[in-house]
Amino acid sequence: MPIDFRTDPARYRHWHLAVDGAIATLAMDVDPDASLFPDCALKLNSYDLGVDIELADVVQRLRFEHPAVRVVVLRSAKPGVFCAGANIRMLGQASHGHKVNFCKFTNETRLAIEEATAESGQIWLAALHASAAGGGYELALACDHIMLVVDRRAAVSLPEVPLLGVLPATGGLTRLTDKRRVRGDRADAFCTTEEGLRGARARDWGLVDEIVPPSRWEAAVAARAAALSERSDRPSDARGVLLPPLQRAITGDRIAYPHLDITLDRPGRAAHFLLHGPAGVPDLHAEGAASWPLAAARALDDAILHLRVNEPELGLWLFRTVGAPDAMLATDARLAADDWLAREIRLFWRRVFKRLDVSSRSLITLIEPGSCFAGMLAELVFAADRALANAAPIALSAANFGWFPMGNGLTRLATRFLGDALALAAAHAAIGRALPAEDADTLGLITEAVDPIDWDDTLRQLCEERASFSPDALSAMEANLRFAGPETMETRIFGRLSAWQNWVFQRPGAVGEAGALHRYGSGMKPVFDPERV
Amino acid sequence: MPIDFRTDPARYRHWHLAVDGAIATLAMDVDPDASLFPDCALKLNSYDLGVDIELADVVQRLRFEHPAVRVVVLRSAKPGVFCAGANIRMLGQASHGHKVNFCKFTNETRLAIEEATAESGQIWLAALHASAAGGGYELALACDHIMLVVDRRAAVSLPEVPLLGVLPATGGLTRLTDKRRVRGDRADAFCTTEEGLRGARARDWGLVDEIVPPSRWEAAVAARAAALSERSDRPSDARGVLLPPLQRAITGDRIAYPHLDITLDRPGRAAHFLLHGPAGVPDLHAEGAASWPLAAARALDDAILHLRVNEPELGLWLFRTVGAPDAMLATDARLAADDWLAREIRLFWRRVFKRLDVSSRSLITLIEPGSCFAGMLAELVFAADRALANAAPIALSAANFGWFPMGNGLTRLATRFLGDALALAAAHAAIGRALPAEDADTLGLITEAVDPIDWDDTLRQLCEERASFSPDALSAMEANLRFAGPETMETRIFGRLSAWQNWVFQRPGAVGEAGALHRYGSGMKPVFDPERV
């Protein structure tokens, strides 16, 4: 059964959302019997990918459907636990590929929570009335402020190393040192203490922001939420945009979305994306979810997630567009407005492009006659590992110079021209002009302008060659080459931390028959190779 | 047979060094029959760890023994090839641990080449009179300037991905994008083109700095070397310091060096380092290699390398010192001098401490009565994952505030107090004072001041607990927690790039029976799992 990333509140099994004016309360209440995996009881608010798919949906919906919400209070609906982290039986059963994809998606969701706080005026508050362990504490770490009740049991912990022989890799290690500035030796002590820390020490070490006695808990959470809401610039009187179920038709090897058609070439191990550009300038508020920028982003986002998890053998993604470049540039101009909805749509595309950056697929963009790689859609040229033009133009807009920073904090063009301010300035001076293939090549915006006579051969050769290479080596190479220049907490999470976790996820001490993930809960001790590598 | 990192020119099998005034010429001439591995003919200047051990020795000796050398011209003594990179049969035979350690050491050596250029006034010039492939080109990438002859065959290439299913992981991918600012899509094209690039295109893409026709080759190399030498601040009239063979006695589970004793506790999986501090202020030039700062650095450096490769089951390194803190502080004061030899010794310690940072061992520093964790030696407190004090003081000097930046570009104290300028200033204000355990604790300089009554129990518990954890999970955790804050090319090489290579080095497509490393040269195609992860 393919995993479906589309969901909506009516179908949620694991979360309750309640909105009261500027304050939303999101309560985690994982249904133990609703795991994606057989025999994985999701006890104690432990989670699998299905739980996180709903969380990602909530994060998204809050931003579009609830413009008035300024603070999201993250709680647990279970009295004895906040969240026990990723389900261990699931980790023991899942394939290496599923585990890696699971971590990638959960990391993206936690980064979306931080982005909502930083960019969108929806500030997340973690209210831990009971223990948060492993991924449960990492979820709290993604919030702007962490409150912890003081009682004999409520603790925060990252027990992965002592208990499971794996890493806290949903950003936990990186956020400890870089976001919360926990001293390295303390972080080491914390991460090797199975039971974690509680009370004053948890606060003094910087693991939580605030500790509260049980008697004052509800009042303190409400007061903190009210105080945080003052920082938000969300509009109070705007009408939200409802996100209806996303239409998708899968017929054989074709996937049809609004504005996006995908053809799967299984023998060639390739997925061909054809994105239809906008027909005119959207009326964002009137059209809502049907407006091109929002509908196309939803389609592309779902397609990336669907193919990543359900079509792992299609290692090559080829991007084509069809449409009017001028309409795309005019749409960009509309999206530049100082308007909460325009901002949300820009941020949504930012997240979609970032998903591409961390997708372990070779990305090839094909600029063909009739295409509309202009402005926002030109980011598909710059996000690609290779971009070839067949005598067709591209065009730049302001969107390419600030709307869509990569995880490294730079735009794709700034990353492309790392340290070459002249090249970047020349590109900037070309904003708005149709740039024929040769000009785009001269400006360094594409990989190659191919002679139309050679187009088919060039393309065939490139695809065949790419499909013949080691998929693992390509994934590793792309994960390095795509991120030139500075690193940020975000790139460190996807680079250093995730790469190490992927390594550990192959080691016998973690995933072998006698490894910690399999032996957990069995009463048998895991067996480790004593050699340090 | 343990691998010995100690060597000297009289024993070299693979390199010829010739010094002519300010210009040294280092010629690679790998002896095919002198591999560390059986049945690995090191043809075409391909290398294994043994070749790199000699290279590291040359880099080191040039700095100490040849103060007048300003430029090192790196060449090949074989007519048809510059260097073919790491030997593939070796990679196919070596254990996962050996491969990871091999890459770590070769990365350290290449970074030492870059440090010699940047900090020590010995500028490395790569003169490629023939093809440099894979690790061969990566070696050139570590040089300051790359010259390539223009003929029909001479090319630079990184064929690891298309040919071997692994990464160019001796810094190659990172140096392409970050050091040489090669555009990502061009780097992608280059790294997937087995035969590489040559001539004008190699120069235009930024893969080499200069191309030269064969007729002008020797003259051009000489002219370039002369020009580069102008940039150097090396003294012209100084007398070098000879590095005699390093004395080391291994007796059972004891290793004795000058100023350093190591006891191996195999049941406890621990190595106990005891470093003897200086007795007085050294006369650096008169004492030469026998001076405490140089002799102790050589001992510690060799010990780290020896234990890393030959004692992988000893996962815990404990550091103790014995000596007079005042003598250590006085030695620091002497080393602060503006003197080429003092500078070299400071840089040497910098590299030694950096080796600790990337050693996959748990590092525990024990501050006990009689110890001398002062100034330079206090870095062992800050490099450790945990530092415990048993009612004994430490002391700071200027050395802790700039001499020993980590790979991330920050001092260990700045990394420790990331973003907390007040804490850093408080530590700075404490320079020169003996800081009792409680004061050191209050200043955040140690992990814990332990009550002497509890010392033995605390230590036993810590060691037993640490030894019970998954060695892999610890390696991965430490590799993340030790590097808070900014990333540099260097940390990207050890973090992102190496972590991905370590991952690939476990994948069946690379190391399986039908993987590319095994099937290379057999005429049989490797078998890859088509799934992207």
Q: Residue A118 — φ and ψ, nearest 5°?
A: -80, -35
* Percentage of the residues of chain B whose pLDDT score is greater than 70: 100
Q: Which residues of B touch A447 (CB under 8 A)?
A: 185-186, 189
- Across the interface, whether the CB atoms of A507 and B507 are under 8 A apart is answered no
What is the amino acid identity at position A144?
A: D
What's B319-332 look like in SS3? EEEECCHHHHHHHH
- Across the interface, whether the CB atoms of A533 and B96 are under 8 A apart is answered yes
Q: Is the pLDDT of residue B392 over 90?
A: yes
Residue of B nearest to A166 (CA): B473
Q: What six digits make up the tokens of B342?
A: 């003092």
Residue of A nearest to B487 (CA): A487
Read off the DSSP letter of residue B79. T
Question: A388 CB near a chain B CB, below 8 Å?
Answer: no
> Tens digits of per-residue pLDDT, A208-240?
999 999 999 999 999 999 999 999 999 999 999
Q: Which residues of A touch B424 (CB under 8 A)?
A: none
Judged by CB atoms within 8 Å, which residues 307-326 of A form the interface with B?
Answer: 312-315
In order, the DSSP letters of A305-357 are HHHHHH-TT--EEEEEEES-HHHHHHHHHHHTSS-HHHHHHHHHHHHHHHHHH
- Across the interface, whether the CB atoms of B184 and A482 are under 8 A apart is answered yes
Question: B195 CB near a chain A CB, below 8 Å?
Answer: no
Question: A496 CB near a chain B CB, below 8 Å?
Answer: yes
> Tens digits of per-residue pLDDT, B187-241?
999 999 999 999 999 999 999 999 999 999 999 999 999 999 999 999 999 999 9
How far apart CA A357 and CA A503 sit, in angstroms, is 20
How far apart CA A503 and CA A493 sit, in angstroms, is 14
Question: A159 CB near a chain B CB, below 8 Å?
Answer: no
Cα B458 to chain centroid distance, Å, stands at 33
Q: Rounded to a whole number, what is the distance in Å from the CA of B511 to chain A's nearest CA?
A: 12
- Across the interface, whether the CB atoms of A185 and B482 are under 8 A apart is answered no
Q: Which residues of B touch A465 (CB under 8 A)?
A: 162, 192
Return the number of other C-beta atoms located less than 10 Å from residue A38's C-beta: 7
Q: Rounded to a whole number, what is the distance in Å from the CA of B15 to chain A's nearest CA?
A: 29
On the 0-12 / 13-18 / 19+ scale of CB atoms within 10 A, B492 is buried
- Across the interface, whether the CB atoms of B185 and A386 are under 8 A apart is answered yes
Residue B1's pLDDT is what?
86
On the 0-12 / 13-18 / 19+ scale of CB atoms within 10 A, B16 is middle
Instruction: List A136's β-bridge partners, or say none.
Output: none
Residue of B nearest to A175 (CA): B484
On the 0-12 / 13-18 / 19+ scale of CB atoms within 10 A, A391 is middle
Mean pLDDT confidence for B366-381: 98
Using the structure block, give the residue that is written with the tokens 């970032």. A354
> Tens digits of per-residue pLDDT, A10-50?
999 999 999 999 999 999 999 999 999 988 999 999 999 99
Helix (H) or strand (E) holding B302: helix B292-310
Question: A174 CB near a chain B CB, below 8 Å?
Answer: yes
Tell whether ipTM is more than 0.85.
Answer: yes
- Across the interface, whether the CB atoms of B469 and A165 are under 8 A apart is answered yes
CB B115 within 8 A of CB B227: no
Residue B223's pLDDT is what?
98
Q: Which residues of B touch A503 (CB under 8 A)?
A: 472, 476, 499, 502-503, 506
Sign of torsion over alpha carbons A110, A112, A116, A122 = negative
- Across the interface, whether the CB atoms of A470 and B526 are under 8 A apart is answered yes
- Across the interface, whether the CB atoms of A496 and B483 are under 8 A apart is answered yes
How far apart CA B18 and CA B168 sit, in angstroms, is 30
Q: What six digits make up the tokens of B40?
A: 């690995």
Helix (H) or strand (E) holding B102: helix B96-119
Name the E strands within B45-100. 46-47, 71-76, 85-86
Q: Which of A191, A360, A384 sits opposite B477 (nearest CB)?
A: A191
How far apart CA B189 and CA A70 sit, in angstroms, is 46
Q: Which residues of B touch A476 (CB under 8 A)?
A: 167, 500-501, 503-504
Residue of B nearest to A316 (CA): B532
How far apart CA B263 and CA B276 sit, in angstroms, is 14
Read off the DSSP letter of residue B371. -
Residue A18's pLDDT is what?
98
Residue of A nearest to B364 (CA): A185
Return the number of other C-beta atoms located less than 10 Å from residue A254's C-beta: 12
Q: Which of A419, A420, A471 sits opposite B531 (nearest CB)?
A: A471
- Across the interface, whether the CB atoms of A385 and B532 are under 8 A apart is answered no
Residue of A nearest to B315 (CA): A532
Q: What six digits make up the tokens of B440?
A: 């050191």
Residue A39's pLDDT is what?
86
Average pLDDT, chain B: 97
Confidence of residue B39 (pLDDT cuts 50, 70, 90): confident
Question: B140 CB near a chain A CB, below 8 Å?
Answer: no
CB A484 within 8 A of CB B186: no
Contacts of B10 (CB under 8 A, 6+ apart): none
Residue A1's pLDDT is what?
86
> Parallel, antiparallel, or unpaired for β A260-265 and A249-251?
unpaired
Give the CA distances from residue B358 to residues A203, B362, B475, in Å, rounded to whole numbers and listed in that order: 30, 11, 10
Nearest of B85, B90, B1 to residue B40 by alpha carbon: B90
Instruction: Give which of A100, A178, A496 to mutate to test B binding, by max B Cβ within 10 Å.
Output: A496
- Across the interface, whether the CB atoms of A185 and B384 are under 8 A apart is answered yes
CB B63 within 8 A of CB B116: yes
Q: What six digits make up the tokens of B115?
A: 């440090």
Question: A160 CB near a chain B CB, below 8 Å?
Answer: yes
Residue B238's pLDDT is what?
95
Question: B82 CB near a chain A CB, below 8 Å?
Answer: no
- Across the interface, whether the CB atoms of B509 and A473 are under 8 A apart is answered yes
CB B455 within 8 A of CB B437: no
Question: B504 CB near a chain A CB, below 8 Å?
Answer: yes
Q: Which residues of B touch A472 (CB under 8 A)?
A: 165, 503-504, 507, 509-510, 528-529, 533
On the 0-12 / 13-18 / 19+ scale of CB atoms within 10 A, A369 is exposed
Q: Which of B187, B476, B499 sits opposite A481 (nearest CB)?
A: B187
Using the structure block, give the residue that is written with the tokens 């400006």. A443
- Across the interface, whether the CB atoms of B504 and A476 are under 8 A apart is answered yes
How far apart CA B116 and CA B129 sit, in angstroms, is 23
Spans in chain A with pLDDT lower than 50 = none
- Across the interface, whether the CB atoms of A417 and B183 are under 8 A apart is answered yes
Q: Which of A183, A386, A503 sits opposite B188 (nearest CB)?
A: A386
Read off the DSSP letter of residue A417. T
- Across the interface, whether the CB atoms of A315 and B532 are under 8 A apart is answered yes
Question: A338 CB near a chain B CB, below 8 Å?
Answer: no
- 3-class DSSP state of B395: strand
Q: Residue A236 — φ and ψ, nearest 5°?
A: -95, -15
Contacts of B385 (CB under 8 A, 6+ apart): A184, A185, A188, B362, B363, B364, B478, B481, B482
How far apart CA B16 and CA A157 sit, in angstroms, is 56
* Percentage of the residues of chain A whose pLDDT score is greater than 70: 100
- Across the interface, whether the CB atoms of A384 and B185 are under 8 A apart is answered yes
Q: Which residues of B touch A96 (CB under 8 A)?
A: 533
